[in-house]
Amino acid sequence: MSATLARPAGAGPSKAGPGPSKTGRGTRPPRGGRRVTKALHFLTFGAPGMIVYLLLVLVPIAMTVRAGFTNRNPANPPTHWVGLRNYRDLLHDPAFTGALRNTLIVTVIVTVAANVLGLFIAQLLDRSGWLYNALRSVFFTPVVLSSVVVSVMWQAILSDDGLLASALRGLGVEDPPGWLSDPDLALYSVAFIITWQVLGFCVVVYLAGLAAVSTELLEAAEMDGAGRLSRFRHVTWPMLAPAVTINTVMLLITGFKTYDQIQVITNGGPGSGTTSTIAFEVVQTTFTGNHIGYGSAMATLMLMIIAAISVVALRFLQRREVTQ
Amino acid sequence: MRTRTSGRTGAVLGAVAITTAFALSGCAAGGDTAKSDGTKGNVTMSFLTFETPNLTAKYWDDAIARASAKVPGVTIKKLVAPSADRVAYAKQLAASGQLPDIMIAVSPNGFAQAGQLAPWTDAELTEFIAPHSNPIGGKVYQLPYNTQPTPLVYYNKSDFAAAGITAPPKTYAELLDAGAKLKAKGINPFVVGGGGKDTWADMFPLIGAVATDTYKQTPDWLSQKAAGKTKFTDPAFTKAAAKVADLAKSGYIDTAGLSRAYTDVEQAFRDNKGAMYPMGSWFAASADAQKPGFDVGVFPWPSDDGSLVVPAYTGGGMSVSAKAPKVDLAKKWALAFMLDKTSLDNSVKTDGSIIALKNYTPPPGMGPVYTATAELYRQAVEQNAIVDAFSIETGDGSMPAGLPDKAAAGVADLITGRKNADQFASFLDQEWAKANR
């Protein structure tokens, strides 16, 4: 699409500058024709995407928000409009508040641990050579695996009859920890598994960030007598700000959406809600409990929380990028 | 210029036309394949199954082929639930308007009340021994083809002998004594599951205790609860819950089970990680088909006074969607599947089913564990000692949707000591109230 065609009517000269157009005739298509062409361009290239986004994202969100104001339960008709009652009930529902607490714990652990370990490993792998290339692939492999596959694998490792417990028993530990059967440990085990899976993503993003760090700046700092730690703190770290932003926001969203691992590994237990997350609770409430209205309110609240935290984190981290 | 613009517009219009054509043809194709396989007169219907170590893909495929051969005009599209929890999967499908046309062993609770299932008529139920099992609003929505005593206690005879236990416990006091003797010998008394997606697998000790301590005295106790006449915090229920908590506190229930999924917990019993395995009667077939390295015996969950009580559930058969393309044909196919002698025999052999059909006799040569299980059930019927299996009921007065899962989570709390019996009972009352809001 040429600049001439894309420019709105009466918006002044094109970016190509005043004077004759590239056709050399100094004329433009008639106004009506441009509008029609523009509309057709939109219909061809924009509309399919917009329609898909509208039908598969916006409409379901709108339907969920609407259902959240009702008592919809297919096993207990009729459906009534209940206003904010579902939201008021949620605030006093231990299942929801417990799930929110668990979600926050998982999110914080995953965000902090994956960022710290990812940066550390990226520093170690920021070298050339076949070994480092191979190691990068190794670290990235869990990212491309299905969460269900990862969950099944770690379940086989961490269950009380699993590889880790067997190894510990082999080493003389009589009563190894119940990584998945102990209600006080299970949530942290799940957070560890998620961290393990997303670590490769962080490593790759930090490696890309490290590649963009100016070697001139590092050499200048070294010539000024800056030590290794000082060079990292005053040169590398500030220049990694965009990578920190990407990783942090992605990890926050990943943490808040935690569902697959819970469903496969713990089913929210052991016990009542010890590892239940908001996403898990939404599915349980909506599909197992038939409380579509209440579950929709939960999902809406989850959407609002994720959106709010993501926006705040993004603003904060992007401001840091600018000031750095 | 004119030529270029005309060409571009033509291309755009063409693209729009192609896009529209693709969209419309996609819709049309989807509409066709949903109900027909292309053969004139054939109707394609979806059938929701589930796979377990006993009920393999081959088991289902063979049974489907036999039923389809008897009912021409039906093509079955088999759906397999991603886990043994086919009810949750069916609900997810229903929520997106894709409730399967035919389902097996899916509790009709919730679906029936929402008008999603077609009721079975008396004429269609003439072959069944208990045709009116688990009614919802007076109508039967699931074919009651099979009875499953749940749980019975399967035990390792070698472990019992090693611990000096000469006979299976008949009273609850004898059960505790057996637990103490086993533990003294360094043998874990009970293998109980509940890990991974199979949290339900920790329920069996509680189902046994509720049978002997609650349902024996008041068989319709749960219906009374649904009517608001009883509460979980009543002593009739808390006594049963306290027994589970005490067994765990005494170290007779290994908490390792809370990380074991259903298949893992069965393997744990086979691997001699505990002497007693409270489980549904379907384990009998598994124990006979793949005999563990020890002899397996079976006894009912003991009551205080030693009287026989066997919790059992009769149902487990087919349900048909009220929106199936041809409900009558779907019912005909479902009945053909359920009444097929070969399928029934296979169900007995592979899943230890006790078939609840008139004139049915099990295949010859069944193994010793199934035979002992069936004999125990026969004695219970003879002594009028059958009660409902707590949390597995599906008819009027059964637990609200989602509550069995909450109960299973609560049992894990009892086992780990996070809740005592009173707290567990109070939790169930709260969850019941929430489920009915």
pLDDT tens, residue by residue, A10-35: 333 343 344 444 444 445 555 667 88
- Measure the CA dihedral B138/B141/B147/B149, to 10°: -80
Closest approach of chain B CAs to the CA of A279, in angstroms?
Answer: 15
pLDDT tens per residue across span B122-137: 999 999 998 988 889 8
Residue A87: CB partners within 8 Å, gap ≥ 6?
A68, A297, A301
CATH number at residue B238: 3.40.190.10
Residue B249: CB partners within 8 Å, gap ≥ 6?
B417
* A4: contact with B, CB 8 A cutoff: no
Helix (H, G, I), strand (E, B) or coil at B79: strand
Give the mean pLDDT of chain A.
86
| R_g over Cα of chain A | 27
| R_g over Cα of chain B | 25
Asked whether residue B16 is assigned to any structural domain, the reply reads: no
Judgement on whether residues B133 and B244 belong to the same structural domain of the protein: no
Q: Which residue of A has its CA nearest to B412?
A: A271
Q: Where are the alpha helices (DSSP H) in B45-121?
A: 57-70, 86-95
| Partner-chain contact A181 B268, CB within 8 Å | no
Judgement on whether residues B238 and B167 belong to the same structural domain of the protein: yes
Judgement on whether residues B333 and B258 belong to the same structural domain of the protein: no
- Residue B17 pLDDT greater than 90, yes or no: no
Angle between helices A130-144 and A186-211 (to 10 degrees): 140
Judgement on whether residues B71 and B139 belong to the same structural domain of the protein: yes
Q: In what order do the strands lie in the sheet with B276-279?
A: B276-279, B152-156, B296-300
Residue B396, judged by CB atoms within 10 A of its CB (0-12, 13-18, 19+), counts as middle
* A33: contact with B, CB 8 A cutoff: yes
What tokens appear for B285 in the block?
């077939």
Q: How many domains does chain B have?
A: 2
Of A37, A265, A290, the CB nearest to B91: A290
pLDDT tens per residue across span B142-161: 999 999 999 999 999 999 99
In chain A, which residues fall in CATH 1.10.3720.10?
85-323
Largest CA distance in chain B: 102
Q: Provide the chain A residues 89-128 that lie in CB contact (below 8 A) with chain B.
A: 89, 93
| Partner-chain contact A287 B91, CB within 8 Å | yes
Q: In what order do the strands lie in the sheet with B43-49?
A: B74-80, B43-49, B102-104, B318-321, B117-118
pLDDT tens per residue across span B180-229: 999 999 999 999 999 888 889 999 999 999 999 999 999 999 999 999 99
Measure CA B281 to chain center: 11
Question: CA of B221: how far to CAs of A296, B130, B238, B404, in Å?
Answer: 33, 21, 13, 16
Q: Is residue B6 very low, low, confident or very high in pLDDT (cuts 50, 70, 90)?
A: very low
d(CA A66, CA A62): 6
What tokens appear for B137 in the block?
């609003």
Q: What is the pTM of this model?
A: 0.81
Q: Output A219 or B436, whichever has higher pLDDT.
A: A219
Residue B230: CB partners within 8 Å, gap ≥ 6?
B218, B221, B224, B236, B237
Q: What percent of chain A has pLDDT over 90?
A: 60
Asked whether residue B34 is assigned to any structural domain, the reply reads: no
Asked whether residue B9 is assigned to any structural domain, the reply reads: no
What tokens appear for B297 in the block?
């015996």
In sequence order, the β-bridge partners of residue B190 are: B253, B276
d(CA B351, CA B284): 8
Q: Which amino acid is at A178?
A: G
What tokens appear for A188 in the block?
């942290």
Q: Which residues of B161-195 are buried (b: 16+ CB within 10 A; e: fewer)?
A: eebebeebbbebebbbebbebbbeeebbbbbbbbb
Judgement on whether residues B330 and B259 belong to the same structural domain of the protein: no
Judgement on whether residues B184 and B228 belong to the same structural domain of the protein: yes
Judgement on whether residues B284 and B270 belong to the same structural domain of the protein: yes
In sequence order, the β-bridge partners of residue B46 are: B77
- State residue B204's pLDDT score: 96
B415 contacts B244 by C-beta, under 8 angstroms: yes
d(CA B205, CA B224): 22
Least confident range of A12-21, A134-143, A275-284, B115-124: A12-21
Using alpha carbons only, what angle is made at residue A264 by residues A299 and B430, rounded to the nearest 5 degrees?
Answer: 55
- State residue A322's pLDDT score: 55
Read off the pLDDT of each residue in B238-264 and give the average, rounded to a whole number: 93
d(CA A153, CA A159): 10
B376 contacts B310 by C-beta, under 8 angstroms: yes
Judgement on whether residues B362 and B244 belong to the same structural domain of the protein: no
Judgement on whether residues B277 and B228 belong to the same structural domain of the protein: yes
Residue A193: CB partners within 8 Å, gap ≥ 6?
A150, A151, A154, A158, A261, A265
Angle between helices B57-70 and B341-351 (to 10 degrees): 170
Closest approach of chain B CAs to the CA of A166, in angstroms?
Answer: 13
- State residue A27's pLDDT score: 55
Q: Which of A70, A161, A163, A280 to mutate to test the interface with B (most CBs of B within 10 A)?
A: A161
d(CA B427, CA B20): 55
d(CA B197, CA A261): 10
Of B1, B9, B256, the CB nearest to A40: B9
- State residue B20's pLDDT score: 34
Read off the pLDDT of each residue in A133-140 and give the average, rounded to a whole number: 89
Closest approach of chain A CAs to the CA of B9, in angstroms?
Answer: 7
Q: Which amino acid is at A145?
A: L
Task: Give phi and psi for B154, each to the nearest 5.
Answer: -90, 140
Q: Which residue matches tokens 């649904």?
A: B226
Least confident range of A59-63, A156-160, A169-173, B94-98: B94-98
Q: Is residue A299 very low, low, confident or very high in pLDDT (cuts 50, 70, 90)?
A: very high
Least confident range of B19-23, B290-294, B416-420: B19-23
Q: Which residue of B has its CA nearest to A269?
A: B409
Which one of B345, B369, B393 terminates a domain? B369
Read off the pLDDT of each residue in A95-106 and give the average, rounded to a whole number: 95
Closest approach of chain A CAs to the CA of B325, in angstroms?
Answer: 21
- Residue B233 pLDDT greater than 90, yes or no: yes
Asked whether residue B6 is assigned to any structural domain, the reply reads: no
| Partner-chain contact B16 A44, CB within 8 Å | yes
Judgement on whether residues B158 and B209 belong to the same structural domain of the protein: yes
Q: E strand or H helix at B78, and its extent?
A: strand B74-80
Helix (H, G, I), strand (E, B) or coil at B303: strand
Max avg pLDDT among A163-172, B80-89, B152-161: B152-161
Q: Output A175 or B9, whichever has higher pLDDT.
A: A175
Q: B129 lies in which domain range?
A: 43-148+314-369
Judgement on whether residues B82 and B231 belong to the same structural domain of the protein: no
Residue A253, judged by CB atoms within 10 A of its CB (0-12, 13-18, 19+), counts as middle
Give the mean pLDDT of chain B.
88
pLDDT tens per residue across span A77-91: 788 999 999 999 999
The CATH code of domain A85-323 reads 1.10.3720.10
Judgement on whether residues B351 and B228 belong to the same structural domain of the protein: no
What tokens appear for A99 in the block?
């799930």
Closest approach of chain A CAs to the CA of B210, in angstroms?
Answer: 19
Asked whether residue B69 is assigned to any structural domain, the reply reads: yes
3-state DSSP helix/strand/coil percent for chain B, to nearest 5? 50, 15, 40
Which one of B347, B369, B391 terminates a domain? B369
Q: How many CB pairs (< 8 A) connect A and B?
A: 149
Instruction: Specify the length of chain B in residues.
Output: 437
